[in-house]
Amino acid sequence: MKRPARLAFAILGAAVLTPVLSHAQLFTLTKDQMIEYTAQNPFERFPDGRPKVPDELIERARGMSSEEVLAILPGKGFRNQYEDGFRILHPDKKLVGRAFTLQFMPLRPDLDGVVNAKAQAAGLGRMYNQTAIDMLQPGDVLVVDLFGQAEGGTIVGDNLFYYIMKATKGAGLVVDGAIRDLEGISGMDMPAYFRRAHPSAISNVIISGINIPVRIGKATVMPGDLVFGDSEGVYFIPPALVQQVVDNADVIHIHDEWTRMKFDEGKYKSREIYGTPTDPALKKEYDEYLKKRLEEIRKKNPK
Amino acid sequence: MKRPARLAFAILGAAVLTPVLSHAQLFTLTKDQMIEYTAQNPFERFPDGRPKVPDELIERARGMSSEEVLAILPGKGFRNQYEDGFRILHPDKKLVGRAFTLQFMPLRPDLDGVVNAKAQAAGLGRMYNQTAIDMLQPGDVLVVDLFGQAEGGTIVGDNLFYYIMKATKGAGLVVDGAIRDLEGISGMDMPAYFRRAHPSAISNVIISGINIPVRIGKATVMPGDLVFGDSEGVYFIPPALVQQVVDNADVIHIHDEWTRMKFDEGKYKSREIYGTPTDPALKKEYDEYLKKRLEEIRKKNPK
Amino acid sequence: MKRPARLAFAILGAAVLTPVLSHAQLFTLTKDQMIEYTAQNPFERFPDGRPKVPDELIERARGMSSEEVLAILPGKGFRNQYEDGFRILHPDKKLVGRAFTLQFMPLRPDLDGVVNAKAQAAGLGRMYNQTAIDMLQPGDVLVVDLFGQAEGGTIVGDNLFYYIMKATKGAGLVVDGAIRDLEGISGMDMPAYFRRAHPSAISNVIISGINIPVRIGKATVMPGDLVFGDSEGVYFIPPALVQQVVDNADVIHIHDEWTRMKFDEGKYKSREIYGTPTDPALKKEYDEYLKKRLEEIRKKNPK
Amino acid sequence: MKRPARLAFAILGAAVLTPVLSHAQLFTLTKDQMIEYTAQNPFERFPDGRPKVPDELIERARGMSSEEVLAILPGKGFRNQYEDGFRILHPDKKLVGRAFTLQFMPLRPDLDGVVNAKAQAAGLGRMYNQTAIDMLQPGDVLVVDLFGQAEGGTIVGDNLFYYIMKATKGAGLVVDGAIRDLEGISGMDMPAYFRRAHPSAISNVIISGINIPVRIGKATVMPGDLVFGDSEGVYFIPPALVQQVVDNADVIHIHDEWTRMKFDEGKYKSREIYGTPTDPALKKEYDEYLKKRLEEIRKKNPK
Amino acid sequence: MKRPARLAFAILGAAVLTPVLSHAQLFTLTKDQMIEYTAQNPFERFPDGRPKVPDELIERARGMSSEEVLAILPGKGFRNQYEDGFRILHPDKKLVGRAFTLQFMPLRPDLDGVVNAKAQAAGLGRMYNQTAIDMLQPGDVLVVDLFGQAEGGTIVGDNLFYYIMKATKGAGLVVDGAIRDLEGISGMDMPAYFRRAHPSAISNVIISGINIPVRIGKATVMPGDLVFGDSEGVYFIPPALVQQVVDNADVIHIHDEWTRMKFDEGKYKSREIYGTPTDPALKKEYDEYLKKRLEEIRKKNPK
Amino acid sequence: MKRPARLAFAILGAAVLTPVLSHAQLFTLTKDQMIEYTAQNPFERFPDGRPKVPDELIERARGMSSEEVLAILPGKGFRNQYEDGFRILHPDKKLVGRAFTLQFMPLRPDLDGVVNAKAQAAGLGRMYNQTAIDMLQPGDVLVVDLFGQAEGGTIVGDNLFYYIMKATKGAGLVVDGAIRDLEGISGMDMPAYFRRAHPSAISNVIISGINIPVRIGKATVMPGDLVFGDSEGVYFIPPALVQQVVDNADVIHIHDEWTRMKFDEGKYKSREIYGTPTDPALKKEYDEYLKKRLEEIRKKNPK
């Protein structure tokens, strides 16, 4: 779909992209700030300081479910990392990747004017959704706060969706807002979570932040979070907890295997088996099964 | 999915299960009460007095639609037996079975304490969702009032869903509340109707009744009702009306067959054929067709 | 307003009222059950076992606010005792009294028939909303679960509202449902909390319980709870916690008095004074003020 | 599904159908009025004056998306021609056809009586939903204002849906209201857009207009509009703009082809290519591609 | 408030105002049609055929409540004459008057153009909300279908509200849409029922009908209906039923008087008195009281 | 009301307050940034660069209505400066003052930990809602984004509301979130706009920005905007447009005076007078009246 009205939306903060204009940023984090606010990150970082959860953990995370993230996060005090109520493009396909965050606000001409004057002075053109989209890396999930807007809150249509798919190697998109060209997008193999589909182009908004903390519904998202989506909703997992979440998911999978094997025997009431076997002999059987299976899995996926 | 927090939810009324504690029940029906309040039931009963609609009628009911239940119930004064607005796990698979009802209320520690003290004294452990689930029989549909709660209102995850599927021979689940582990459950072959999916475990609730009258939205459900769900919603059919509903559905099916045959001829306006042919000759043709086809069906399904 | 259609609604459970029919009750609590399930009640009881919070505490509670109830209840594990979203008849008039609970369900003719047959046999007429209303005592607040129904979910119009006002000495009404005759009721001096006003008469419902635990939105209410309503919402306070709530409210009132006196001096930033003075000398001043004022109050209101 | 209660709904305006009763119409347009109010129609008309968008354009429109309609209409001042929020029967199948409009209002016995008396006097029977349905032509999309009603707002069940499919050659149905027999309808190959599915039969409504301007949500629909529905929503396109919309869609398709080819090369940032190439050489390349491809398409689809 | 953008909204159907253009009306009723469709009207009519409920009955209706209208209408088959969910300007002031109806639809430039061309040709200017407002008579209540629109759906601000108040002698306004200048309007002594207040001027709409049947929510309103609003909602009463409604209201008032007198005696349970006294002696006492009081009232208000 | 749980909520960004920590700010604007982004401000500024609309204009603005703001802003391209849907504490009392903005996000322990470590290192305590509240100046309106949260989203109770009233000289509060202690607050003479009242204390949130651009519903608010609230909603007016808005309001007031005088004469239809008199003589009369009255007003309020 051709975007018919290129100037229909306003843009803010071209300065964000160039160090010489960093004081004008409305808003981003400097590399130092990024490192400081994500200090618990145990992994490598991108050149701009954004945490880089390793590809290997991203792959392992594809086998998880939302429940397995919830098994860890609230216990660590992270109670605001989940959001649902999205329309899901491919409910059967997991969304996993590193958060690249983008925040919009309703257009205000005075802010818009200041930012564009600065951008022009710096030899940049206008800044708009494509400015941020062109910064995406393989494995990035674009996470956008468009405050639930339907008309005019359409972050991309099928052409830019296609571009994101190419640029991120199919990682994905989460938008508290809308997409357009639903038909065209439906045939593309990238996960996407959105509130609405609407035929309008993005308009009447400005970019107020790139790679800053953003709010998606009731969740606070940091750049570099591991974004995990399944058919229920989306979790934003702090890098420091990713290893633990993924390892614990293995335990849960084995627990489920064993539980159903026992249910299949047809000899037990559910509460004799699940969550923890009440009979000590059964408990021992389970513990041994768990140990053996974990070893098998760890051999396949050495840390 | 492993239920990570076994004690995260409270339980009430272990006494329900044993006659010696019947005065403490909060709430169930004694066998006599069950029989009295379902006195119009024309069929056999379970040992606890719950009506047992015959398997043969359950099978025949799989061929019906909601409209065919509605053709009978309101005319008999039963105007509050239908509820919709559910998320449906397998819209293409009919839900048919006998209601096993379960009522929850928000947790209250004083009630919870009394009930658990009694349960401990009786040598029972705590009572919780699995206590009821372990009572299910083949052909039962678990009907749960969790007052529409999403977070903490998750009656089962995939492990207990699997157990219910085994125990009821795949009959089904209706919950005015939530389920968790949607991904895992989606692959299982049992119908389920729920309001939301949420990753949280069941919590902050108590069981206030087992096999009592419960309200599911705008419908009043009795234990032993025939639960019927299609892609629109769920009907709770009193046993006394099941035979009539099922028999009348045959007539409607034949009416539809004939109507479409006539539409296919392309000679008639819709109002000449449907609902009742206006031309006496056509009416006679229809009546004869109905009679012949009914006889064929009755031969195949003798009462 | 004359109730034009006396037989427009159905009634269930006349047996509730007479001991000889107690097995048919759908549902109430026997005196023993009532005592058992409200065992923590420290006060006297009504003849039917319902806790009777003393009049003196009811009067003192009129000086409280919802926040002062919240200061105690969740800390004791009671997190489900508050509900809001009501339309409030007299927002400036506190609602305080003892809960008399009433539960309705959508009408089901088979249940209705059984109950009325039993009621007739016992020489009682039909049972309906007036049956329960005629049981109210001075100081009772009628708490009704009509599942949020507007049309047909109107527990009373102005005539029965007037009767309740007379019978309870103006204590009040909470209905998760509707009232009718809003104009007539507006002029009457009794607090009322309801979801909607609708001109229809109550219809298409049955009484499924009198003085049993009921759910009002997200709160579980026991008969005998202290019902407290202000301009925000309604709290249902277990009798065992009433004394503590009321005493603690005195402390909060004094704290507020002192805080504002200090604010009026204009010398302090808010965080130097509130919640706890940071300066030890100020803290001491506050502690002495609190002690002195508490003594004054306790003299006026000896326990 | 047999419509069990033929007289359950009321009917108005049989006179609409016959010139002799034209003064009694509540409401329709005379042929002259139809021509006057659709004066910009560039195409042939039906005998009653309704614009008849040519079959060839209907076929070409099947290749469009909502975004391609939006690319033209608002720029021509038509900002109220789109509505969404429908449940869509076959999201993968486009809806394209000529609007046949139908307006209902809540039943009023006095209006109903007048109209039926007139209809009887004219030798017609009662008028109801089938009266309008029997007027449908091949290529018509039935567009119905049933004011979002679920219960009783069910324009058709599976039998009449089948009849419409036959009569319109599968063109389609848009109803701001409900359908019934969802299961039966799901298997039929005609697009349908509706708000809800409900088992009830149509009732408690009267027909207040046939082929008059109707409001569907926020859109104003004229008889003869080209109705276009995709997986997002429905557009009602004035005949005068159909050719331009369809032609422009070809341009957009070519633009998308070219854009993705360039994205596939992996050499460009998105803003270098999309919406308009920034490099003059690329722009030239695009312009030539567009010209060549348009010629190819025009050869295949000569006007 | 000055309407800043006089041309911001479009207008349709100037022809409505002059008989010579009646064929162009989109829509109104001719005098003959008006008389035919309100044939049951027992009262005089306005020159355009609209029923004119007598002033004397309007005055007596001020003493009624919604419940007293409901006591009659549904029993006569009029079940769709009530609507609520309005914001009410003066809840303590009854709304009573004769319906003058006005229907809007979302703007469509092609319709707008045709109508305005005709209006210009007839020597009229553009037609817009003031065209209809200038037709109001003393005692008229303006009833407007603006399909619930807030922004742009503002039928009047304070200046035109003032004008309506003068023109109708303070009868009132009902709009399924919005008003603006809430502050200014709040000080004016005319009842008004609206969905929202919004500062925008009316825009993006056309007038599609004057004094035709209109739908206000779930109610069908005819020109000339007696509009009755109290603090609950609004009833639209067919003229043929006004006398009966008003007379019956007297009976209900007397019933209420007597009921409360008896309640005040404190000797009776509610069900002994209300709705009908169960004791024959009491019943007789009531019947005599009713007869006497009715005579007194009838003397004051002879028909 | 005593805030019972001082540590129940987390705080972020103590660094905001001291220039030495400015790199850690998450987020505020430096003085230079503030001046740059509000470059169009024609008035003086606070020491931190925030625009200071003069007291004289604030006083004159009290006589305006929302409609009079709307008469100017959209025409200047500011279409996103209005928000409604608030619960209004004192609908009869205008809200006028300078915006002091505050942004919260859901609590995230990792962010919270970093910020508090920095704050401790700088010798500051924790930062929380009172930190910002203690920065308020006379004439400031506190504008808070608490993302509509009810439970835990309570920016203040009655004690801090009292403090704000003292500190701002009663200017006011706008919160896209909740307040607590509604009863206590209701008696205080300061305007407040909020979404809900809830008894809980603020919790589970962090401060993510002080005096940055914030979004309140669909409006973008800058620090220093003139906040204007009436009984409809709230406008956030850029300083550069304040003078024009206030001056134009005088013209509208005079226009209204004159219009109603003419309506009172009873000689004119509304469209002859309003919006602009159609008769040249009347137009002249109006123009002269406007000129004379403006002169009178300007004498009273010289710029």
- Under-50 pLDDT residues of chain E: 3-25
Q: Tell me what pLDDT residue A20 has.
A: 25
Compare CB distances from A260 to B134, B157, B162 and report the shortest one's residue.
B162
Contact indicator for E39, E31 with CB cutoff of 8 Å? no
Contact C233 F181 (CB under 8 A): no
Q: Do chains F and B have 3 or more beta-carbon pairs under 8 angstroms? A: no
* Closest chain E CA to residue C160: E270
Q: Tell me what pLDDT residue E233 has.
A: 97
Task: Name the pairing type of β-strands D87-88 and E87-88.
Answer: unpaired
Mean pLDDT for C70-97 is 97
Q: Tell me what pLDDT residue D120 has.
A: 74
Chain A neighbors (3+ CB pairs < 8 Å): B, D, F
pLDDT profile of chain D (303 residues), mean per 10:
36 26 56 92 97 97 95 97 98 97 95 80 75 94 98 97 98 98 96 98 93 96 98 98 97 96 94 92 96 92 65
Question: What is the average pLDDT score of chain F?
Answer: 89
Q: Select the residue from D183, D185, D188, D204 to test the B interface by mutation, using most B Cβ atoms within 10 A.
A: D183
Contact A80 F37 (CB under 8 A): no
Residue pLDDT, tens place only, A34-43: 999 999 999 9
Distance from CA of A257 to the nearest CA of B (A): 9
Distance separating alpha carbons of residues A264 and E112, to the nearest angstrom: 71
Q: Do chains B and C have 3 or more beta-carbon pairs under 8 angstroms? A: yes
Distance separating alpha carbons of residues E188 and C32, to the nearest angstrom: 61
Distance from CA of B186 to the nearest CA of A (A): 10
Mean pLDDT for B58-86 is 97
Contact A274 B130 (CB under 8 A): yes
Residue pLDDT, tens place only, A226-252: 999 999 999 999 999 999 999 999 999
Contact B166 A271 (CB under 8 A): no
Helix intervals (H) in E1-144:
31-37, 55-61, 66-70, 109-121, 129-133
How many Cα atoms are found within 13 Å in the side-chain-facing hemisphere of E73?
27
Residue pLDDT, tens place only, A59-101: 999 999 999 999 999 999 999 999 999 999 999 999 999 999 9
pLDDT category, B19, cuts 50, 70, 90? very low
Compare CB distances from D256 to A1, A133, A198 and report the shortest one's residue.
A1
**Which of chain B's residues have a Cβ under 8 Å away from the Cβ of C32?**
23
Contact D274 A197 (CB under 8 A): no
Q: Tell me what pLDDT residue D296 has.
A: 94
**Which of chain D's residues have a Cβ under 8 Å away from the Cβ of B230?**
182-183
Compare CB distances from B67 to D160, D162, D180 and report the shortest one's residue.
D180
Chain E neighbors (3+ CB pairs < 8 Å): C, D, F
Mean pLDDT for A173-195 is 97
Chain B neighbors (3+ CB pairs < 8 Å): A, C, D
Q: Tell me what pLDDT residue C123 has.
A: 66
Q: Tell me what pLDDT residue F118 has.
A: 73
Round the CA-based radius of gyration of chain F to a whole number and report it. Answer: 22
Chain F neighbors (3+ CB pairs < 8 Å): A, C, E
How many residues are recorded in chain C? 303
**Which of chain B's residues have a Cβ under 8 Å away from the Cβ of C212?**
27
Nearest CA-CA partner of D238 in D141, D31, D48, D98: D98
Mean pLDDT for F191-217 is 95
Q: Tell me what pLDDT residue F114 has.
A: 85
Three-state SS across chain B?
CCCCCHHHCCCCCHHHHCHHHHHHCCCCCCHHHHHHHCCCCCCCECCCCCECCCHHHHHHHCCCCHHHHHCCCHHHCCCCCEEECCEECCCCCCEEEEEEEEEEEECCHHHHHHHHHHHHHCCCCCCCHHHHHCCCCCCEEEEEECCCCCCCCECCCHHHHHHHHHHHCCCEEEEEEEECCHHHHHCCCCCEEEEEECCCCCCCEEEEEECCCEEECCEEECCCCEEEECCCEEEEECHHHHHHHHHHHHHHHHHHHHHHHHHHHCCCCHHHHCCCCCCHHHHHHHHHHHHHHHHHHHHHCCC
Contact E70 C199 (CB under 8 A): yes
Q: Tell me what pLDDT residue D8 has.
A: 28
Contact indicator for D203, D81 with CB cutoff of 8 Å? no
Contact B1 A264 (CB under 8 A): no
Put simply, whether the predicted model's pTM sits higher than 0.90 gets the answer yes
Q: Which residues contact C170 (CB under 8 A, 6 or more apart)?
A: C189, C190
Compare CB distances from C159 to E71, E256, E269 and report the shortest one's residue.
E256
ipTM of the complex: 0.91
Q: Tell me what pLDDT residue C22 has.
A: 34
Distance separating alpha carbons of residues D218 and E223, to the nearest angstrom: 25
Q: Tell me what pLDDT residue A289 has.
A: 97
Q: Which residues contact C112 (CB under 8 A, 6 or more apart)?
A: C10, C11, C12, C206
Collapsing DSSP to helix, strand or coil, A180 comes out as coil
Contact B70 D3 (CB under 8 A): no
Compare CB distances from D275 to A6, A163, A183 and report the shortest one's residue.
A6
Residue pLDDT, tens place only, B105-158: 999 999 998 877 876 776 666 778 898 999 999 999 999 999 999 999 999 999
Q: Tell me what pLDDT residue F116 has.
A: 78
Residue pLDDT, tens place only, F218-274: 999 999 999 999 999 999 999 999 999 999 999 999 999 999 999 999 999 999 999
Q: Which residues of A touch F (CB under 8 A)?
A: 23-24, 26-27, 30, 32-33, 36-40, 76-81, 105-111, 114, 147, 204, 206, 208, 212-213, 215, 218-220, 222, 238, 240
Q: Which string of b and e fits C259-271 if b means at least 16 CB within 10 Å?
A: bbebbeeeebbbb
